[in-house]
Amino acid sequence: MGEVTPVRLEAGALPPDWRPLPEIPARRYTDAAFEAAERDRLWKGTWLCAGRASELPEPGSYKLFEKTGQPIILVRGKDGVVRAFYNICRHRGARVARGETGRTTLLRCQFHSWSYNLQGDLVGVPGKEGFACLDTAERSLMPVRCEQWAGWLFINCDPDGQSFAEFMGSLDDQLRSTDMASLRLVAKRTYVVESNWKTTMDAFLEAYHLDTIHPKTAAVVNDARYSRIALLDGGHSWQALRRKKLLGDEVSREDQPDIDGIEAHFRSFGITYNIFPNLVAPIDPVGFPVLLMWPIDAHRSEIEVYFLGPEWESEKREAFYDNYFRFFDQLVGEDMENLANMQVSLETGVMSGPLLGYQEQRVYWLHQAIDARIGAERIAPELQVAQVLAATD
């Protein structure tokens, strides 16, 4: 990513080539047809983070992934490779696993006991002689593309879509020093928000609101007056703010976790990444949360949070993480207090749509990328956003 030097945002001091952004149509946050287009073209057509590889620690470990309505199972094979399949028996469509997580040696249909090995091959059919035309090689579980990156598992339901390397672009290099593959999963949180997933997501893509609703949390840590924004190919982006302090500054380095070898700019600046479409990671040397915004329906969303931290054993550990999670819960709560009301406003039909400023351009960049993924021909003209921003990094 090169050198990061946030600039002070003086009133009226915008880049000379900056042009006002068009309004985002309010119905994008409420319209059932737009939600259906997202379900069919966005969530089924791009790479999505499905959790940590450490959640599947040994052969036969599995977890279900149904965040976007597709029944998917991720399972670690005897060869140590994590694979993803549709959780659909090739006989009559029953599930081959029901518990959200577990461990098994066979994936067995819950209705007629057709069974599959951990590589997805059909290996058992009760009364097989009754299926004269059955070719077991053609009735394996249907695969879903699955890649492991930096300790994360990503899936893509589009068999013909771009490769994972193309999807990530420069992000792999930019985030390498965070050493996420070696970080441990400290805790998980889930919050249900009474707002569309994009309403929720938008709030985590800009720092314009920091001083207003986060004066005792995020604004204590980062200075939003000093900011730099990068728009990356593929809908990804990041924003850097000048740090006022690290979360562990009140104690010595020996008494706080620390990601050894992390690049210096992550210590000097609070840099928050968006991996398109729904992953937000505010990088911090003491460890950091990775947030995933998932749709529940057009009016509600879920924030799934993975807290990552370096290996660290200390008598201060419990106190540090108690303070850390108290801080984070307060910060998210401050956002949630506003998001439900914002969603109600969008649904009234009175508000034509959000009008974004320079500091909120990452929000508009996300919406541009959503439209590019869905395809303009599948979106009603009055719901489209104009493709006016271009990648800057």
Question: pLDDT tens across 126-185, in order?
Answer: 999 999 999 999 999 999 999 999 999 999 999 999 999 999 999 999 999 999 999 999
**Confidence (pTM):** 0.95
Beta bridge partners of 281: 273
Residue of 100, 93, 61, 87 whose CA lies nearest to 143: 87
Question: The dihedral of CA 30, 34, 36, 40: what is its sign?
Answer: negative
The H-or-E segment that residue 339 falls in is helix 317-347
Question: pLDDT, tens digit, for every residue of 31-53?
Answer: 999 999 999 999 999 999 999 99
The torsion angles phi and psi of 307, rounded to 5 degrees, stand at -95, 120
Through-space distance between the first and last CA atoms of the chain, rounded to whole angstroms: 8
Domains of the chain, first to last: 7-44+182-383 (3.90.380.10), 48-157 (2.102.10.10)
Which pLDDT belongs to residue 79? Answer: 97
CA distance 383 to 36: 13
How is residue 173 written in tokens?
Answer: 């290099």
Residues of the chain short of pLDDT 70, as ranges, are 1-3, 10-12, 246-254
DSSP letters for 143-192: EEEEEEETTEEEEES-TTS--HHHHHTTHHHHHGGG-GGG-EEEEEEEEE
Which pLDDT belongs to residue 187? Answer: 96
Edge-to-edge strands, sheet with 61-65:
48-52, 152-156, 143-149, 82-86, 72-76, 61-65, 101-103
